[in-house]
Structure 1
């Protein structure tokens, strides 16, 4: 593997530095399918990064892999996940012992899972979820009343009524209330990093708007970094400083939100943008992306997007492009793409979706 990225974060540099990470799943005694290939990016303190792409492209697998929350059949099989702790020390999360990893999660990095109902224990009241979280992270000496007061403050931050929510069971709350309660729970110990997996899925438009506004407000207030996994390009454009486009388990383009959405350099990114109606400007007819992504066990040689790419050349079918920097900037804001033709002019939506 060759990268044009630095091998490790500089002093005072990234909060999260992901280098050449592969994530796979065991399907038999000796068989492993790699669902995420060679993921490489930096996330600085206070930054927000959106991971976008079609279903099955590896977004959730990568998010779970970063915190080693994969199911038993899953494993991070290669690469480094470097994290700058509150103490200033840089650790590779792949090397943390299980006990150290338990202390790390929620205290320094937390995750909001897709489907809040599945994330809560249905037989525990919301207040017990908060109390268990505090007690699991060495807050046993604090009185129950003090912990519940802190829990109430967190719920108020996400515009929920503590007196109504704390004594409730998860099923007694609406979908939007559960999602906001889960965000409050994730922020209970003031983590430096918050990973959100489709936090607005199955919510109505008004509730989605409320959740997005609260996330924006909380990030400005608490200054945590965020990885936002979504298929909604509108949410990505609104919440993220940076965007990473994933296809067939690989990051194929990364950059600032403005660069990726206004000057895309990978045909797949352009096709995604062209497949949804614009929010502003002239009304255009969306152009759906034809075909489907390859299965993780049957990736074609060369560029995985080549069979669907309207700009492909013969070399694309035999040479797999590396993610390389096209425009260098500070603090992880460089624009990079994995495309043999990325050095040319940026792609228009019309060109990227034209048959």
Structure 2
């Protein structure tokens, strides 16, 4: 069996709003293995980003992590539950051993500081360079690695002086600056056109190989998943409904929601008059449906689906599904 680097068990996050308690993610469990690319997929609002942020306690008020464990396997062989660490202890890990690439580069970068300062700051704070001078020198190297032309000049640029693709590369540069063991990329190509998207994905693959990083990829783009991922977890309405290798998910999808997602992807080789859509809408997570949360939209729903929550079961080696059909 591959060696796990992260074991997530029954992770639950609620948001306490005026309208009621939003059950954003409910008893989410999965493993991430060392050196793999693990993709978390699902439609907008299913809880992918909340899950990724909860791993290092990045949930802000009115949100609260109400249960679960995130067991992190450190380099020295020891393990630690990231949810039990104090703010000071988790800051030692966040940004150094577990780093993020957030989905909006415009919001991730501070307009008041140069990009060189922001890359150097990540290293100075975590003491992976001895001083600011060395930090700026390394920032130039990092800009070169993320394929930004003329890095000696660009290191002095402010974010507004760069294009969207360049800003996204700077954010990736900040993410990899401390050679993290786990890199969490939250929709890293959402705001980019297709050519820049392909360059960013190639770049992330290259950096992953170079630093032997474990990549957790958050996306709703099934094309990106097919190209990048080793294993996939499919989320729906705050729950994981299927986990498997990328081949298992694409060639033998089991959950009706996974099948619906894949049917909604246009096939450039097929002659399709009309794309298939999943009927209905995403449920309100203040009052989610009883039983399986997908049953109001599922063509195979029966009485048991309306009453009992399905458990994640292993159907074939490494392929899990939460569905009463199995």
TM over 0.5: yes
User: Structure 2: how far apart are the matches of 1:283 and 1:60?
Assistant: 35
Match of 2:192 among 203, 227, 244: 203
Deviation at 1:44, TM superposition (A): 0.9
Runs of 4+ in 1 over 6 A off after TM superposition: none
Alignment match of 2:60 (pick from 59, 71, 78): 71
Question: Matches of 2:160 and 2:240 in 1, distance apart?
Answer: 37
Q: Which residue of 1 aligns with 2:35?
A: 46
Please give the secondary structure, in 1, of the residue aligned with 2:141. helix
The answer for the alignment partner of 2:153 in structure 1 is 164
Asked whether the 8 Å contact 1:53–1:231 carries over to 2, the reply is: yes
* 1:336 correspondence with 2:326: no
CA shift, 1:139, in A, is 4.4
Aligned to 2:302: 313
Partner of 1:175: 164
Provide TM-score, normalisation by structure 1.
0.88
- Asked whether the 8 Å contact 1:86–1:108 carries over to 2, the reply is no
Q: Which runs of 5+ in 1 are unaligned?
A: 1-9, 329-333, 343-355
| TM-score normalised to structure 2 length | 0.95
Partner of 1:288: 277
1:212 and 1:283 map into 2 onto residues whose CA distance is 28
> Of the candidates 97, 100, 106, which is equivalent to residue 89 of structure 2?
100
Aligned ranges 1:1-355 → 2 under 5 Å: 13-27=3-17, 32-139=21-128, 142-161=130-149, 162-279=151-268, 281-284=269-272, 285-328=274-317, 334-342=318-326
Q: Which residue of 2 aligns with 1:353?
A: none
How far does the alpha carbon of each residue in 1:280-319 deviate from its partner, in whole angstroms, 9 at most, with x for none? x544452111111101112111111111111222221111
Structure 2: distance between partners of 1:58 and 1:216: 25
RMSD value, Cα? 1.7
For 1:298 and 1:165, locate their aligned partners in 2 and report how far apart those are by CA, in whole Å: 50
- Count matched residues: 324
Q: How far apart are the structure 2 equivalents of 1:165 and 1:312?
A: 56
CA contact (8 A) 1:48 1:240 kept: yes
